[in-house]
Amino acid sequence: MARFLSISSGSNGNCYYIGNERTALVVDAGVGFRTIKQRLTGAGVDISSVEMIFVTHDHVDHIRGLLSLAQRLSVPVYATARLHDALMRHPAVGPDLGGSRRVVRPGVPEQMRGVGCVAFEVPHDATQTLGYFIDFFGTRFVFMTDLGRVPDYALEYCRQADYVVIESNYDVDMLMRGPYPPDLKYRIISDCGHLSNDDCASALRRIWHPGLKGVFLCHLSKDNNTPATAYASAQQALAGLGLSIPEDIQLVCLPRSDVFSVDF
């Protein structure tokens, strides 16, 4: 049996786990080592099973606990050379990460401990932002946690996936009527910002295929979204394709700080 866990999702921190009895990995470490360990332990997972870390980008809510996790577990950290260089300059990480550095190249398939992986670039206002297509012993995941739009090639990875973790960050009306300053609002809605609920719903209409088992909505804004609003938008998109939840597909808004778990 294998498991997917969302350890944390949102601007407070992002961290996701996939594992089985053979190996385990983490995508991002945006919360501290102690929090990751406590939440994994609470889910019945030994943190020492984690053998690799994948990093999506160099914003602190994705890397806050990266250095301590990599050092305490003595595990490799996968990212592009450009992203690694940025991590080693980042005050939350720094040059001590260098010994854990492992380089992936966008669009190039890799194998790590029997796990297949392809990194791909997505538009976001970080040094470089990656999505990941991960083939975990035959079950395929796509992670797209922060992006302003979904490129066509990213949609193609999603059409091969069993599970898609995709950003549904904000409701447009809530954002535009809210207290954020205009420059921040327009950064968020830009092509290098974040996906709105409407953007996410549009992507779901385009990525649906009969093998898609689950959609996990991630990185919901605390100020400009609600789980109910994001869920309703995605549900409407899937219903428009004739799909019923949960009979035909699983749809979940990943919680900000509670653990969500699914066996596969």
What's the rounded Cα separation, in Å, for the pair 132 and 145? Answer: 10
Q: Say if CB 201 and CB 238 are below 8 A apart.
A: no
How many structural domains are present in the chain? 1
pLDDT above 90 covers what percent of the chain? Answer: 99
pTM of the model as a whole: 0.97
pLDDT band, very low/low/confident/very high, at 253 (cuts 50, 70, 90)? very high
Range of the domain at 252: 3-263
Tokens of 65: 């606990």
pLDDT band, very low/low/confident/very high, at 119 (cuts 50, 70, 90)? very high
**Mean pLDDT of the region 259-264:** 98
Sheet holding 139-144, edge to edge: 110-112, 115-121, 130-136, 139-144, 163-167, 214-218, 250-253
pLDDT band, very low/low/confident/very high, at 65 (cuts 50, 70, 90)? very high
**Mean pLDDT of the region 29-47:** 98
Mean pLDDT over each residue of the chain, to the nearest integer: 98
- Indicate which CATH number applies to the domain containing 203: 3.60.15.10
